[in-house]
Structure 1
Amino acid sequence: MAPLTSASDENTHQTLLNTLDIYSAPKPFRNASWKPPQRRNKNTKAILADAARKESSQVTTANSGTSTPAADTAPPNIAQAAQRLDRLVLEKSLIAPGPAVTYTNIEAAPSLRPERTRHYCDVTGLVAPYTDPKTRLRYHNVEVFNLIRTMGSAATEGYLEARGAHTVLK
């Protein structure tokens, strides 16, 4: 195969290849002194696990002597042992009155940024992006809007009352 240059000399061909080589060019887009950050971001599960671990360590260190019975004061019979066990369970429940911190705990605090509440059609129950300004009923599409406009005021008030948006004017 013949070289791609006008001259058939191998040296000129190699010189051209060296000038067009993109791998030999310096790449200034990367800072030579850049280092990855040392701080690692935690996900929600890790944060909750740390909080639970911290809470459990506070509970065990605060009442380590009261929840562990002494070895020399063993109860002489089963009734006393059951009573002591009941007392330990009661003390344990008084220590941690709230629910345990877990990733899927249903009793978690409400979100600080709640999503927009979705409105549903009063007639069909589908998602309602529109509201009739005259009757204040929410509707899904044009067919439902035409039905709302043909309804009487009693039916309209019934739908509003079912939704909890019924107002009585005096």
Structure 2
Amino acid sequence: MAPATPPSNTAAPAFSLFDADITSAPKPFRKPGHKTPSRRIKNAKQIAADEMKRIQSLPDESRSAALMDTPTYLNVEAPPSVMPRKWWCDITGLKASYRMPNNGMRYHNKEIYEVIKHLPPGVDQQYLQLRSANVVLR
């Protein structure tokens, strides 16, 4: 069996922090004339503030038209979605194709159905409470 450590008569190459510096390494994936863009990224609060400043700088007659007719970051409205609502399994979080009629829990497949069927009393209400769908019977 070979020894776990190298023999002591061979000198290990010297390693320094300058060898670990990757900033001086050539970067062939970059174009030679690449320049980092000087634009900075704005968050939503800054965008809304800039939009309000722009609207306030408009003359009075065009200001009211800009607030009413033109979509801006301050008055964007979207119609309701035409896509069907997605349901999620209460146990796994996967897409739920089925629903238990007796307690309303949604489940993904028959394996999860077996788990739900054998839950102790009250545990199903705790799962439903997680998605604010629990029914309290009095």
TM-score using structure 2 length: 0.48
Q: Which has the higher relative contact order, 1 or 2, with Cα contacts under 8 A spaced 6 or more apart?
A: 1
TM-score using structure 1 length: 0.40
